[in-house]
Amino acid sequence: MIKEKITEGFYGCYWHCEGSDAAIMAMLGDDCEDYMAKSAVKWIHKKYGVSVMTLSPAHKDYGHHSMPVERIGNAIEYMRKKGISKFGIVGASTTGMVSLVAASYYPEITLTIALSPSDFIMEGFYRGKRDGFNEWPGENESTLTWQGKQLPFLPYAYRHPEYGQKIKEESKAGGDMVASRKLFDESERLHPVKEEEKIKVERIKGKLLLIGAEDDVLWDTAKYIRRMELRLKEKESGCIPEILVYEHGTHFIFPESLLKTMLPVGSGLFIRLFKAGKEYPLECRKTREDVDMKMSYAINEWKK
């Protein structure tokens, strides 16, 4: 793999695949060079034969706060100069949300895959060490900005340190590695999502895959996905949506072959970090296999 690291205009690594004019921007992992990001590159190169741009907020910055959406545009321009003419994007969890927002701003993106996304822009959050917690909310700070201005966002129900305490309590009570679904439910109860905070998915072009599971304990992604499905039906849209909502799959609803690339041994044990993964391992695996098949078909059709 030929890698080029870029820190001006955006933070990412471009992994060239010879003979392809298509590239997928992958926001999988906490850093553009970490193990998960490299595993995604290896998986995309081997399975699909297209170039990859791994993107992250900054070097070992595991939070998401005030990131300019323009960074995605800068990455597109960088790859255009490399001969890339077809652009896709994939993200999971918070970056699933980022992928949707980016695709709604850049019509050059004609393949958008969002795993466990929200349908609204979240409030920004920081990660590190603070008063015994590893995550805390920003103060009136969005996850994303556009043209130097904060994009409207759904504010969290709690401030530091209560924010971290609630996540710890919910995770322990449910037997999950991490859980914050009640936090998001309470946030939306106190502040029903406004139109300006919703992601304008109808602006997305090309193929759109929205993928999530009912048993997601970080947030109610199944509800969010269905709201986006309804929005696309109600508004004129230029995308071709495919809605994939499963009963079981956990928040980490990765394609099975990607998970096995990341963890050749013990991939099933990784999902057991969530209670649903322990109780429904076979169902979760069948979900990942189906996601793998559906994603493969969509990406191969997009390549053509």
Q: What is the DSSP letter of 188?
A: H
Question: What does the pLDDT read at residue 176?
Answer: 96
Task: Report how far apart the first and last C-alpha atoms of the chain are (Å, whole number).
Answer: 23
Report yes or no: 183 and 163 within 8 Å, Cβ to Cβ.
yes
**pLDDT surpassing 90 at residue 270:** no
pLDDT tens sequence across 137-150: 998 899 999 999 99
Assign 3-class secondary structure to 54-121.
EECCCCCCCCECCEECHHHHHHHHHHHCCCCCEEEEEEECHHHHHHHHHHHHCCCEEEEEEECCCCEC
Strands 144-146 and 67-68: parallel
DSSP tally for the chain: helices H, then strands E: 10, 13
What percent of the chain is predicted at pLDDT more than 70?
99
- Segment among 23-27, 262-266, 284-288 with least mean pLDDT: 262-266
**Confidence class for position 269, pLDDT limits 50, 70, 90:** confident
Q: What is the mean pLDDT of residues 113-124?
A: 98
Question: What does the pLDDT read at residue 1?
Answer: 58
Question: What does the pLDDT read at residue 217?
Answer: 98
pLDDT tens sequence across 188-238: 999 999 999 999 999 999 999 999 999 999 999 999 999 999 999 999 998
DSSP 3-state assignment of 282? helix
What's the Rg (C-alpha) of the chain?
Answer: 18
Question: What does the pLDDT read at residue 7?
Answer: 82
Q: Which domains does the chain have, with CATH numbers?
A: 2-121+200-303 (3.40.50.1820)
DSSP 3-state assignment of 242? strand
CA count, 13 A, side-chain hemisphere, 112: 34
Q: Cis ω on the peptide bond leading into residue 161 (within 30° of 0)? A: yes
Q: What is the mean pLDDT of residues 257-285?
A: 90
Question: What does the pLDDT read at residue 111?
Answer: 98
Q: What is the mean pLDDT of residues 293-299?
A: 98
The neighbouring-strand residues paired with 144 are: 67
H helix intervals, 4-69: 35-48
Q: What is the mean pLDDT of residues 151-156?
A: 98
> What contacts 178, CB < 8 A, 6 or more positions away?
167, 171, 217, 218
**pLDDT surpassing 90 at residue 302:** yes
156: its two tokens? 């969290």
pTM, 2 dp:
0.96
CB atoms within 10 A of CB 217: 22
Q: What is the DSSP letter of 195?
A: G
**Confidence class for position 29, pLDDT limits 50, 70, 90:** confident
Q: What is the mean pLDDT of residues 87-98?
A: 97
Question: What does the pLDDT read at residue 70?
Answer: 97
**pLDDT surpassing 90 at residue 179:** yes
Question: What does the pLDDT read at residue 250?
Answer: 97
**pLDDT surpassing 80 at residue 100:** yes
240: its two tokens? 């071709």
